[in-house]
Amino acid sequence: MKEVDIRPEALLSRYLELSARDATLCFSGVDREERSCVACGSGKSHFEFEKNGFAYASCSRCGSLFQTPRPPLPAFESFYRDSMSGRYWAEHFFPAVAEARREHIFRPRAERLIEMCDSNSTAVNTLIDVGAGFGILLDEWRIQRPETDFLAIEPSPSLASECRSKGFNVVEDIVENVSGYRGFADLVVCFEVLEHVFEPVSFIKSLADLARPGGHVFVSTLSVDGFDIQTLWEMSNSIFPPHHINFMSIRGFQYLFERAGLEIVSISTPGVLDVDIVRNSYFSNPGLFADNRFLRQLMANENHAARFQDFLSSNCLSSHAWVFAKKHEKFL
């Protein structure tokens, strides 16, 4: 898989352009408040950079990168309800790549997650997908394990409708507001949402609340320890406020899930695009690594780049992180 397969350049450029506009239109003049680390809770951090009018800091304790000072929650809620970039993603970007993402992302994702559950002797009779989007992950899981009971939690009316059209039960709300499903699921999954949320600890606790005692919670998200983010830093397209505001380190994930009352079973980074993302940035800007002979050599050799990607994925150095955790039998 290449980056262009799931993020065509023209669509991505337009999405990033609209996100930058939304950063101004939706957040200008809004008061902001300094935040402690969203992963470990430490109050010690240092400024890193500003992008689209949003400042980011690194935690001095765990190394997580997070947006601070942060606008209040109502400003983000308003942004997600009615933003140009949000509408563009739902109405243009994702529909254009939905089937490519099914093939390259959702089908392998469902297969890998099923294998992970089987290897941990985790029987999944009930599954909740938080931030289910178009319902493709549930659709692919159903093909593999049709006996599973499913629930989609999706706050977007248009995306919730897509899930219903595929025959899934849907709760149309953010997970923090969901009631009536406490201890419901053997497995709660959440893909590519944590980087967006206002308060990660509360969010993870809400996921845990949906799992039965002894059940599991799975989250995939971006990690600041990943090669492409570390290399490109503020120039990384993965860092684009107001959408992406949290980037946990591997150590930060450990703190975050422990604070939420969960026991981490495994943390892995099965990402495959880090090197391709950096190569694309290098080819579009040949002066990017003018002072780094090693990176220039690596980017120029596709065979070396592929092997280096394998190394990154195997050593928790990809920016695409998977966290698999267990809910304690006595969860408070």
Residue 167 is predicted with a pLDDT of: 97
- Strand 45-51 versus strand 54-59 pairing type: antiparallel
Distance of alpha carbon 267 from alpha carbon 219, whole angstroms: 10
Question: What angle is formed at CA 42 by the lines to CA 38 and CA 48, rounded to 5 degrees?
Answer: 70
Residue range 162-182: mean pLDDT, rounded: 95
Q: In 3-state terms, what secondary structure has residue 325?
A: strand
Mean pLDDT, residues 190-202 taken together: 97
What pLDDT was estimated at residue 332? 53
Residues 221-250, buried b or exposed e (16+ Cβ, 10 A)?
bbbbbbbbbbbbeeebbbbbbbbbbbbbbb
Tell me, what's the pLDDT at 282?
A: 93
Residue 113 scores a pLDDT above 70: yes
CA distance 204 to 211: 11
Percent of the chain with pLDDT over 70: 99
pLDDT band at 170 (very low <50, low <70, confident <90, very high): very high
Residue 328 has pLDDT above 90, yes or no: no
Q: Is the peptide bond before 71 cis (omega within 30 degrees of 0)?
A: no
The answer, yes or no, to whether residue 100 has pLDDT greater than 80, is: yes
- Residue 196 belongs to what domain range? 3-327
Q: What pLDDT, on the 0 to 100 scale, is given for residue 292?
A: 93
**pLDDT at position 18 over 90:** yes
Look at the alpha carbons of 265, 272, 202, 39 in this order and tell me if their dihedral is positive or negative.
Answer: positive
Cα–Cα distance measured from residue 106 to residue 138, given in angstroms and rounded to the nearest whole number: 9
**Inside any domain, residue 90:** yes
Q: 23 in a domain, yes or no?
A: yes
Please tell me the pTM assigned to this model.
0.95
Weakest-pLDDT range from 215-224, 289-298, 316-325: 289-298
Sheet containing 45-51, strands listed edge to edge, beginning at the edge strand earlier in sequence: 45-51, 54-59, 65-67, 246-247
| 158 has a pLDDT exceeding 90 | no
The domain spanning residue 57 has which CATH number?
Answer: 3.40.50.150
Domain count for the chain, please give it. Answer: 1
Nearest to 87 by CA among 76, 99, 75, 95: 95
Q: Residue 332 falls within a domain, yes or no?
A: no
Summarised one tens digit per residue, pLDDT across range 25-83 is 999 999 999 999 999 999 999 999 999 999 999 999 999 999 999 999 999 999 988 89
* Sign of the Cα pseudo-torsion (173, 179, 184, 189, in order): positive
Mean pLDDT rounded to a whole number for the chain = 95
Asked whether residue 304 is assigned to any structural domain, the reply reads yes
- In sign, the C-alpha dihedral spanning 281, 286, 288, 292 is positive
